[in-house]
Amino acid sequence: MNCIEVNEKMADLFDNSISQELKDELFAHFRECPDCRKLYDEMSGVMTELQPRVTINASRNLHTRILDQAIQTGNPYQARRIRILPMLSPTWKKVTAIAALLAVLFILFPLFNHPGWVQNNANAANTLLGKSITALTDVKSVYMEFTVRTLENENFEYIDMNAGFVGHKLWKVFGNPSKWRIEKPGRTVVMDGKNQYLYISGPMGFALIGDADRGSVDWMKILLDPGKILQTEKDFAARNEAKYQVVEEGNDIILTVKAKAMGDFRNTYALNKTIPESNNRRVYTFDKSTNLLKSLEVYIEANNKEIGILQLTTIKYDETIADSKFVITLPANVKWVPFDRLINDKNAGLAGISSEEATKRFLEAWQKEDWKTVDLLMPGFMNSIDVEQVKHEYGGLKILSIGKFFKSGQYPGEFVPYEVRLKSGTIKKMNLALRRDNPGKKWWVDGGF
Amino acid sequence: MTEHPEKFPQTLAELEEFIKKNQNRLVRHAFFRLGNQEEAEDVVQEVMIRIYQEKESKRHIENGISYAFRMVFNTCVDHLRKKTRNNFEQLNGKNVLVAIDGSNRETEIIAKEEFHRINQLLNSIPAEQAEVLRLRIIDELSFIEIAEIMKLPVTTIKSRFSYGIIKLRTKVNHQEEVKYELH
């Protein structure tokens, strides 16, 4: 390679895609030619000089801000508003804006409060209800993908408005019996027509088997029966502090439910931890021609703004779903344990003491590595997937403090604040969740460890 | 540089993954054009929302990140055009934007000094060469990606890079000499 050719290829040395062969050839030339070597060194010097000496990164909340706006922008109401107004002249904008305001006042206010509008709304709802039930009788299966702001491995109901979106999938085959499956990273639940199976992966995970009606998917069960959504929501609104509205827009029928956070929030710990424990707005869109559900968005209201928390991203009807979808194949070292071993075990739990005392005994058992007591207070502990790893990690912990119990949200038990230091030096400051809604009124640990 | 082309995000989950993976690079790209972190993030946010809104029509685009860079670049140009009407100063015969946000945080000051230092160098060479240097050195894009963003042949990108860097060589070396003299 001569100097002219080297100069032509020099730029390639500053690109990561250069081949090793070309690189070797150029450097071989530099060893023979001080002028080309000097040029290369000087070019490298310019590269170094132009490199920023400071790291510019996006703010930590930028992605949350963008996703919130993306969800808001995806909202059919807002999208229409954005498209219509810029086409009008300023005068018409004012007129339209006033008309829109009046329309909103006429529609929303009476709809939720005026008996006549409730009646009309109820009629629309009843019509939709009848149609959607008819539509679903012909549907053989449904497949959904939806994203939820939550944490992987947490239960299906848990939400976290500061977390990223976690993908969920749902399969349902309608029939006699019906079968379904819902999964998210770290957690899968299957109902095969007879039993419900819940598999939680990870060292503290479980593989549980129980009867078909076990409530492992909490609020999400509404999605398992898309044809009953309106009925379920109507019943819900009748029983709770919630309002619903059914409107027709173009080819869509939109059901909006606004619900107040349910539970006791004198302590706000559980506020916004689940959809029912949040002030929320659920927007379901049904296709007017087929009456089938086509989208769902759930927003929660927190800190004076709405945050998108759940969005249905895909829904497909009558796809062929293999029967194998309704079977969970466990890793070789994991065995199915009956649900009852966890929650109805007559030997589990401790009666006649306070939740704080139960917390003390539970944490002391970890401190002393008294596994029998740990299993007594956290039934099923010995059936954890990797019990030895859990023992190694948490055994011998040091109790730093145990606080006063409190109640929050809809949780039927009590929360007890505690702080411990693990052998690794990690300090954990959490709230232990204990409940005793069992015949023996015995406290056992339900979560928060 | 990107390991392989990324498809245009079609769902919220894909958008989130796309943002998480590329937000730092895109904000850095915008910052070294605008000189202001907040404006840079606003531009990236605006672009991401447009990407999500246009997802259906852009489904066929195979290299989403190159497309996003081009959108951020174009949006920055629009922002600069609007701002230069009101606020610019003459430097070396070129218009150099001075971003003012009243902030006195140390990191922002350092970042702004870097913005000025780098722009001062790049403004001394033709704009088309400066652009290639920015994309290669600050944004760490490959020549192939730059060619895709600028819709030019890779050979043109390489020659602009070489010419630009060779022109700057004298300036940088002169600065080095001055530094040594001062010692």
Between B121, B173, B176, which is nearest A50 by CB? B121
Token pair, residue A158, equals 């848990």
DSSP character at residue A271: T
A105-A110-A114 Cα angle (round to 5): 155
**Same structural domain for residues B29 and B83?**
yes
3-state SS, one letter per residue, for A313-366: EEEEECCCCCHHHHCCCCCCCCCCEEHHHHHCCCCCCECCCCHHHHHHHHHHHH
**Does residue B60 carry a pLDDT above 90?**
no
Whether the CB-CB separation of A330 and A207 falls below 8 Å is answered with: yes
Q: Which of B13, B49, B162 sits opposite A73 (nearest CB)?
A: B49
Stated as kind and residue range, the H or E segment containing B13 is helix B12-34
Residue A448 zone, left/alpha/beta (φ > 0; ψ -120 to 50; rest)? left
Mean pLDDT of chain B: 77
Could you tell me which of A433, A87, A415, A67 has the C-alpha nearest to residue A267? A415
* Least confident among A138-142, B2-6, B13-17, B168-172: B2-6
A11/B12 Cβ within 8 A? no
Per-10-residue mean pLDDT, chain A, length 449: 87 86 89 89 87 81 82 46 28 36 32 32 61 66 92 84 89 90 92 90 80 71 81 77 81 87 89 92 88 90 86 91 92 80 70 93 95 87 82 92 92 92 89 86 87
To the nearest whole angstrom, how far is the Cα of B86 from the nearest Cα of chain A? 26
For residues B75 and B23, state if they share a domain. yes
B117 lies in some domain: no
Q: Is A418 on the interface with B (CB under 8 A)?
A: no
Q: Has residue B139 got a pLDDT over 60? A: yes
CATH number, span A72-183+220-323: 2.50.20
B105 interaction partners in chain A (CB closer than 8 Å): none
Beta bridge partners of A444: A435
Give the C-alpha separation, A234 to A133, whole Å: 14
Distance (Å, rounded) from C-alpha A224 to C-alpha A229? 9
Residue B177 CB coordination number (10 Å)? 10
To the nearest whole Å, the CA of B64 is away from the closest chain A CA by 17
Comparing CB atoms, the residue among B114, B122, B169 nearest residue A42 is B169
Question: Tell me, what's the pLDDT at A129?
Answer: 61
Residue A161 is predicted with a pLDDT of 85
Q: Is A152 exposed, middle or buried (0-12, 13-18, 19+ CB in 10 A)?
A: middle
**Are B96 and B164 in the same domain?**
no
The answer to whether A276 and A282 have CB atoms below 8 angstroms apart is no
d(CA A322, CA A320): 6
- Whether residues B27 and B95 fall in one domain: yes
- The DSSP H or E segment spanning A373 is helix A371-377
User: From the CA of A157, how many Å to the nearest CA of chain B?
Assistant: 19
CB contact at 8 A, A194 and A177? yes
Q: Is any Cβ of chain B less than 8 angstroms from the Cβ of A70?
A: yes
Does 3.10.450.50 match the CATH number of domain A344-447?
A: yes
Domain co-membership, B136 together with B88:
no
For residue A322, what pLDDT is reported?
Answer: 92
Domain with CATH 2.50.20 in chain A: 72-183+220-323
Looking at B71, B103, B135, which one is the last position of a domain? B103
Instruction: Determine the Cα–Cα distance for residues A301 and A306; give it in Å rounded to an integer.
Output: 4
Query: Cβ–Cβ of A59/B13 closer than 8 Å?
Result: no
Instruction: Give CB contacts under 8 A, 24+ apart, made by A436-442.
Output: A436/A349, A436/A351, A436/A355, A437/A412, A437/A413, A438/A343, A438/A344, A438/A349, A440/A346, A440/A349, A440/A351, A441/A351, A442/A348, A442/A349, A442/A350, A442/A351
Query: Of A28, A30, A48, whose CA–CA distance to A39 is shortest?
Result: A30
Count other C-beta atoms under 10 Å from residue A199's C-beta.
Answer: 22
**Same-domain status, B85 and B140:** no
Write down which residue in B103, B138, B163 finishes a domain. Answer: B103
Enumerate the residues of chain A whose CB falls inside 8 A of the CB of residue B180. none
Whether A28 and B179 have beta carbons less than 8 Å apart is answered as: no
Which residue(s) pair with A172 in the sheet?
A142, A180
Domain-located, residue B114: no
Q: Considering only the C-alpha atoms of chain B, give the largest distance between any 2 of them, rounded to a whole number of Å.
A: 60
| Set of chain A residues whose Cβ sits within 8 Å of the Cβ of B168 | 46, 49-50
Are B66 and B99 found together in one domain? Answer: yes
Residue spans in chain A of domains classed CATH 3.10.450.50: 344-447
Residues of A in contact with B15 (CB under 8 A): 66-67, 70
* Counted domains in chain B: 2
CB count in 10 Å sphere of residue A59: 13
Same domain for B179 and B97, yes or no, is: no
Judged by CB atoms closer than 8 Å, whether chains meet at B12 and A71 is answered as yes
Interface of A with B in 29-48 (CB under 8 A): 39, 42-43, 45-47
CA–CA separation, A43 vs B118, rounded Å?
16
Q: Residue A368: in which H helix or E strand, if any?
A: helix A355-368
Is there a single domain that holds both residue B85 and residue B141? no
Check CB contact under 8 Å for B45 and A53. no
Number of A to B CB contacts under 8 A, please give it.
132
| CATH number, domain containing residue B176 | 1.10.10.10
- The 10 Å Cβ neighbour count of residue A104 is 10
CB contacts of B161 in chain A (<8 Å) are 11, 14
Asked if B138 and A58 come within 8 Å (Cβ–Cβ), the reply is no
Judgement on whether residues B152 and B74 belong to the same structural domain of the protein: no
| CA A251 to chain centroid | 29
Classify A149 in phi/psi space as left (phi over 0), alpha (psi -120 to 50) or beta.
beta
Specify if B116 maps to a domain.
no
Please name the amino acid found at residue B65.
Answer: I
Residue B109 covered by a domain: no
CATH number at residue B95: 1.10.1740.10
Q: Is residue B156 part of a domain?
A: yes
Subunit contact B118:A52, Cβ cutoff 8 A = yes
Q: Which residues of A touch B152 (CB under 8 A)?
A: none
Answer yes or no: do A42 and B12 touch at CB < 8 A: no
Instruction: Look up the pTM and report it.
Output: 0.53
Which residues of B fall within a CB distance of 8 Å from A70?
A: 12, 15, 48-49, 52
Distance of residue A118 Cα from the nearest chain B Cα, in angstroms: 35
Does B179 have pLDDT greater than 50?
A: no
Q: In a 3-state reduction of DSSP, which class is residue A148?
A: strand
Task: Look up the domain containing B24 and give its range.
Answer: 1-103
Is B144:B152 a contact under the CB 8 Å cutoff?
Answer: no
- Regarding whether B128 and B99 lie in a shared domain, the answer is no
**How many other C-beta atoms lie within 10 A of the C-beta of residue B175?**
12
**Is A11 within 8 Å of chain B by CB?**
yes
Strand bridging mode A337-338 / A206-211: parallel
Structural contact between residues B145 and B1, judged by C-beta atoms closer than 8 angstroms? yes
B139 in the same domain as B69: no
